[in-house]
Amino acid sequence: MIPFLDLKSVNMRRAAELENAFARVLESGWYIRGREVEAFEQEFAGYCGAAHCVGVANGLDALVLVLRAYKQLGKLKDGDEVIVPANTYIATILAITANNLTPVLAEPDDRTFNLDAAGVKEKMTSNTRAVMPVHLYGQTADMAGINALAKDKGLLVIEDAAQAHGAHDGNNTDPRRAGSLGDAAGFSFYPGKNLGALGDGGAVTTNDDALADAVRTLGNYGSREKYVNLYQGVNSRLDEVQAALLRVKLKYLDDEIAERREVANFYLSRIHNPHITLPLVRDPQAHVWHLFVIRHPNRDALQKALNQKGIQTLIHYPIPPHKQQAYAAWNGLSLPVTERIHEQVLSLPLWPGMTEDQQSAVVEAVNHAA
C-alpha cells in the first residue's frame, strides 16, 4: 500500500534532532512563552520576510485572531464583508463568521483553484472591507492583482497561508514569501502541513506593529502585562515544546520543498492520461506542493481504481463550505466553478522522501486507469 502521506517517515528523518529539542525544553523547566517560542517567532518571521511572527495555538486561531485584532484596532466592525474563495477549507470561513463579519464567497480561477483580482472585483460592494486569499495546495493566489485592487479600494488583505509555508508569489526574484504578501497572514503547523509540528500550532505574520501586538495580547487573555487585561482575550499560544520542534523542522523546510518539487515534476512529466487534468503551475520555483491535485470527470471511479491498486488518495475537499450543514443558509447558493472543483479533484500521494519506486507506482496506476 502506498499511503497518501507517510508522516512518520518524514519526522523520523529528524528523530535525533527532535528528541534533542524536546530534551532541551524538558530540562529548561519552562513550558509556555519562553525562549523557544521567541526564537522560533524570529526565525519564522525572517524566513517569510515579515517583521513579526506571533505563535498561536493553531491555524484557525491565527485567522480568527487577525480579524479580531483588526476589529479591536477599529479597522473592521460587525457585519463588514470579507471576500473569500468559495472552495477553501472551512477554517477560513469559520474565522470570518466567528468575528460577526460577513463572508462573501467568490469563485476561484478554474485552473489555479485560487482567487484572483477578477473574482474579487465581481463580489465587491460598498461594504467590502477585506479580502482573504487562500494559497491553496501550496501555490500563492494572484497577490499582485489582489493587492493592487485592495490598495485602490482600501481593503485589508489577509493571507490564509496554512498550505503555503515557503511559497513565493510566482516571481522568484522577489525574496518575500507567503506570510509577507498582504497585510497579515495566518499559518497552521498541523502535523500534515509543509511545516508541521507534532501536535497543533499556528502563527500570524505581519509587518504591522500594532496588529502584531494586538494579536499577541488577544491570544494571551488580552493581557500584555501579567494580570492586567486590556481586552477580553482568549488563551491561544504556541507552546515551548512545539516551537522547539518547529525550529528543527524549519531548518529543513527548503530542502523538503525541493523534494516535493521533484515528486511533482516526476508526476507532471510522466502522467499521460487523456481524462486527467494536471495542476497548472504559475511558476515552478514558487509552488511548494502541499498537495498534488489532479482533476478527473469521473473522480470517484478513479479513486476507487487507484485504491484497488494500493494507492491511497484523498479529496481536498469533498463538500464545499456553502453545501455544509454548518452553513445551511447558503445551501441554495449556486457556485458552479467551485462545485465542479469539489466533484473532480483528487490529491495524489506526495511527501518529502517518497521513493522513486513509490512515485513510479502512482504514475503507472494513474496512467492505466480509465
Ligand X SMILES: *Cc1c(COP(=O)(O)O)cnc(C)c1O
Q: Does 83 bind ligand X (CB under 6 A)?
A: no
Binding to ligand X in span 174-213, by CB under 6 A: 188, 190, 200, 202
Least distance from ligand X to the Cβ atom of residue 295, Å: 19
How far apart (Å, rounded) are the C-alpha atoms in residues 48 and 253?
Answer: 12
Q: In angstroms, what CA-CA distances link 328 with 78, 90, 310, 319, 324? A: 21, 13, 37, 13, 6
How far apart (Å, rounded) are the C-alpha atoms in residues 158 and 223?
Answer: 24
Least distance from ligand X to the Cβ atom of residue 63, Å: 6
Count of helix runs (H) and strand runs (E) in the chain: 13, 11
Contact track, ligand X, 268-307, x by CB under 6 A: ----------------------------------------
Checking phi first, is residue 357 left (phi over 0); if not, alpha (psi -120 to 50) or beta? alpha
How far apart (Å, rounded) are the C-alpha atoms in residues 126 and 206?
Answer: 26
Q: Pick from 21, 60, 149, 263: which binds ligand X (CB under 6 A)?
A: 60
Q: Pick from 40, 47, 89, 137: which binds ligand X (CB under 6 A)?
A: 89
How far apart (Å, rounded) are the C-alpha atoms in residues 260 and 349?
Answer: 11
How far apart (Å, rounded) are the C-alpha atoms in residues 145 and 169?
Answer: 11
Q: Does 341 bind ligand X (CB under 6 A)?
A: no
Binding to ligand X in span 114-173, by CB under 6 A: 134, 160, 162-163
Residue 90 vs 305, nearer CB to ligand X: 90
Least distance from ligand X to the Cβ atom of residue 23, Å: 26
Kindly determine how many residues on this chain lie close enough to bind ligand X according to the rule CB under 6 A: 15
How far apart (Å, rounded) are the C-alpha atoms in residues 31 and 227?
Answer: 19
Q: Does 92 bind ligand X (CB under 6 A)?
A: yes
Q: Does 91 bind ligand X (CB under 6 A)?
A: yes
Footprint of ligand X on this chain (CB under 6 A)?
58-60, 88-89, 91-92, 134, 160, 162-163, 188, 190, 200, 202
